[in-house]
Amino acid sequence: MISFDLECGNEHRFEGIFRDYDSFIDQMARGMVTCPFCDSGDVRRLFRGCSIHARPSTVTVIDRKTPNLFEVMRQIESHVRANFDNVGNDFAETARAIYYGIEEERNIYGQSTQEEIKELIEEGIRVLPLPPAGTLEN
């Protein structure tokens, strides 16, 4: 990303942010850069002092930490607990009620037996068993 200070013919100053210098030149040439205050297309770039933005050093592929399966499962579990309704042991009944329009549609989680999960899937109700990450890791 690149940022330029711009000014229109009416002396309104504003900032423009572009993907790169070529994008800036292209948009200027096509008249796509206009003043956000007066919509004037008479825009010019203001030249300011040099600004250098430090970038973090690039990380090699080997140094990059990729989460393992258990970390990903913990993240998923955390997301579900924070954003879904816990219906406890009534999961299968509530899932059916939502599927058949008896209850309001929403994301839920809870406990269910393998047999109940199998029956839900056979009925066309999409479920995703999610074992607790902590019990699998040990």
Predicted confidence (pLDDT) per residue in 26-80, tens digit: 999 999 999 998 999 999 998 876 656 666 666 555 555 777 888 888 888 899 9
Which position has the token pair 């003043």? 35
Which tokens go with 33?
């850069």
pLDDT digits (tens, 9 = 90+) for 78-92: 999 999 999 999 999
Q: What rounded mean pLDDT belongs to the chain? A: 86
How large is the angle between the packed helices 91-99 and 114-122, nearest 10 degrees? 10
Stated pTM of the model: 0.49
Cα 114 to Cα 5: distance, rounded to the nearest angstrom = 62
Region 114-138: mean pLDDT is 84
Alpha-carbon separation of residue 45 from 23, 32, 37, 53, 67 (angstroms): 14, 14, 16, 19, 44
The sign one gets for the Cα dihedral 30, 43, 41, 32 is positive
Tokens of 123: 């009925």
Q: What local confidence, expressed as pLDDT, does residue 97 receive?
A: 95
Tokens of 16: 């423009």
